[in-house]
Amino acid sequence: MKNPKYIKVLDFIKNKIQLGEIEVGGYLPSENELCLHFSVTRTTVRKALDELLKEGFIEKQHGKGSRVRERRKSLGLLTVKGFSEAVGENAQTVFIQKPVVSDWGIEINHEVNESDKSCQCIYFERLRKVNDEPVMIEKNWMSGKALEGFLNMEFTEGSFFKTLSRVYRIEITGSEHELRAGFANAKTNSLLNIKKGIPVLRISVKFTTSNPQLTIYSELFCNTEKYPVGNSYFI
Amino acid sequence: MKNPKYIKVLDFIKNKIQLGEIEVGGYLPSENELCLHFSVTRTTVRKALDELLKEGFIEKQHGKGSRVRERRKSLGLLTVKGFSEAVGENAQTVFIQKPVVSDWGIEINHEVNESDKSCQCIYFERLRKVNDEPVMIEKNWMSGKALEGFLNMEFTEGSFFKTLSRVYRIEITGSEHELRAGFANAKTNSLLNIKKGIPVLRISVKFTTSNPQLTIYSELFCNTEKYPVGNSYFI
DNA sequence: TAGTGGTCTAGACCACGGT
DNA sequence: CCGTGGTCTAGACCACTAG
């Protein structure tokens, strides 16, 4: 099924929360009300709410209802969400290197798939800012096999993930992260406006996608002095 | 319901994986087979498999089946799982400070609940090792309200979370993490066998539990030189 | 007691993978 | 083609919260 109903319900509620139409601490409509509103069964509504719960948007209270959680101010980078969606409206992005053909970076911490190593590699690098302060350098490598015409392409709404989805019909299906404390090189330090000797949080990500030929390798260098990286998990 | 069926299914499969009875890359029984084996419906089996997927134990392939994933070698600390379960059989734990009455630590990065601040605080500190190498210092603070007789108590199977569950019937229901790169103090550095000037990964955790009176605040200082901290997420 | 979320049943149809 | 997982329906009963 291309457009599952639970995605519609999920997007509807997530949108309401992100626009502030339901205030923090406010209750969502009950599951039964949502069922009526969307003409679906509770199974479908609950699947959507489970996603929202997993992503930290809501909390559930047995016997009371589902409430909007206070959104963390830190960067929610440890999910499959992209940066912009995770951080919100105060995020800015600047290309340091537009997509080019390159070698597989020696900085990649995850093991690169054998099938990728033998292929042409596409690389791009971006600087992420919050409120105009640089907080993260993001370096990305991926095989060019599945991405015909990717070089010189404008990103859909400035988002790499949206481009993958809208242009190539490729969805992110999973991610693995490794986290380390370390130091960045001089160039990255300078871009992040970090003094020498200040450690950075380094996150190595391996994204799997709905296209078996496409795996994305990212190395993130985060200045955590003002904005720690956040993650939450509820059951 | 005290003992949901999906927990039984989940524990059964997780146990098989952890004991190696299904090798890495091997397929689980199909959902329909599991239904027959446990006399439950697919809804229930899928709820269990969803948990295993979320925790990174398995991966699903549409049209083929569910396969056991290679367990990450890094520390899976970013879930509600405890250290021992996350790391496995090579983990050791040493008390640096057995549970005592203390002040709320000034090192706590999360905001401490107002209701906690006015209460007696219990503190304990442990050193975590993997293959006899120190990798993490874990400092824990919590209100003593819900934990009658906790001081001087032996931990069930050496596990704090198991003690909470078995003795106090309290379950972990969620966690929020903040991650930073930074430095540890001299004492922690010495316990971690870290040279001065080597950065550590600092993880601030706030655990919520099934008892509204109990919130647990932890500060982890990780030496990531050999063992990075890992996390994975699949949809 | 009424309303909420938590669990579960017994089906159904669809999309994908491999034969 | 069949078996797999993905989505969905239309119910049911339970446990928790609050008036």
pLDDT digits 0-9 by tens, A196-217: 899 999 999 888 887 778 899 9
Residues of A in contact with B174 (CB under 8 A): 59, 232-235
The shortest C-alpha distance from A152 to chain B (Å) reads 30
Q: Write out pLDDT tens, residues A68-88.
A: 987 654 555 555 455 656 556
How many angstroms separate the CA atoms of A70 and A56, rounded? 9
Instruction: Please state whether the predicted TM-score (pTM) of the whole model is above 0.75.
Output: yes
The phi-psi region of residue A164 (left if phi > 0; otherwise alpha if psi is between -120 and 50; otherwise beta) is: alpha
Q: Can you tell me the distance from the alpha carbon of B137 to that of B93, in angstroms, rounded to the nearest whole number?
A: 10
Pairwise CB contact (< 8 Å): A201 & B222: no
Of A149-158, A215-224, B119-128, the least confident? A149-158
CA nearest to A46, candidates A67, A32, A25, A27: A32
Amino acid at site B139: K
End-to-end, the C-alpha distance of chain B in Å comes to 27
Q: Taking each helix axis from N to C terminus, what angle separates B5-18 and B42-54, rounded to the nearest 10 degrees? A: 50
Query: A101: which strand partners?
Result: A122
**pLDDT for residue A80:** 44
User: Residues of A37-70 as b/e, b for ≥16 C-beta within 10 angstroms?
Assistant: ebebeeebbbbbbbbbbbbbbbbbeeeeebbbbe
Candidate from A176, A180, A232 with C-beta closest to B174? A232
Q: Find residue A134's DSSP bridge partners.
A: A129
- Average pLDDT of chain B is 85
* pLDDT the model gives residue A9: 94
pLDDT at residue B34 above 90?
Answer: yes
DSSP 8-state assignment for residue B85: H
pLDDT of residue B81 exceeding 60, the answer is no
Q: How many Å apart are CA B8 and CA B56, to the nearest integer?
A: 18
> Which pLDDT band holds residue B229 (cuts at 50, 70, 90)?
confident
Q: What is the mean pLDDT of residues A43-52?
A: 94
Q: Give the C-alpha separation, A216 to A105, whole Å.
A: 12
pLDDT of residue A196: 85
Residue B27: DSSP 8-state: B
**In chain A, residues 3 through 42 whose Cβ sits under 7 angstroms from any atom of nucleic acid strand D:** 4-6, 39-42
Interface probe for A, chosen from B6, B180, B188, B205 (most Cβ of A below 10 Å), is B180
Q: What would the pLDDT profile of A147-204 be if each residue is shown by its tens digit?
A: 888 998 888 878 888 788 777 867 777 788 888 999 999 999 999 999 989 999 999 9
Cα B109 to Cα B176: distance, rounded to the nearest angstrom: 11
Give the residue from B204, B196, B198 showing the smallest Cα distance to B223: B198
The verdict on a CB contact (< 8 Å) between A199 and B199 is yes
**Structure confidence at residue A6 (pLDDT):** 94
pLDDT at residue A114 in the model: 82
Among A8-22, A189-203, B49-63, B81-95, whose mean pLDDT is lowest?
A: B81-95
- Residue B144 gets which letter from DSSP? S
Closest CA to B143 of B218, B220, B219, B213: B213
Q: Over 80: is that where the pLDDT of B163 sits?
A: yes
Confirm whether any atom of chain D, the nucleic acid strand, is less than 7 Å from CB of A81: no
Q: A37 CA, D9 C1': separation in Å?
A: 16
Q: Are A98 and A71 in contact (CB under 8 A)?
A: no
With 60 as the cut, is the pLDDT of residue A230 above it? Answer: yes
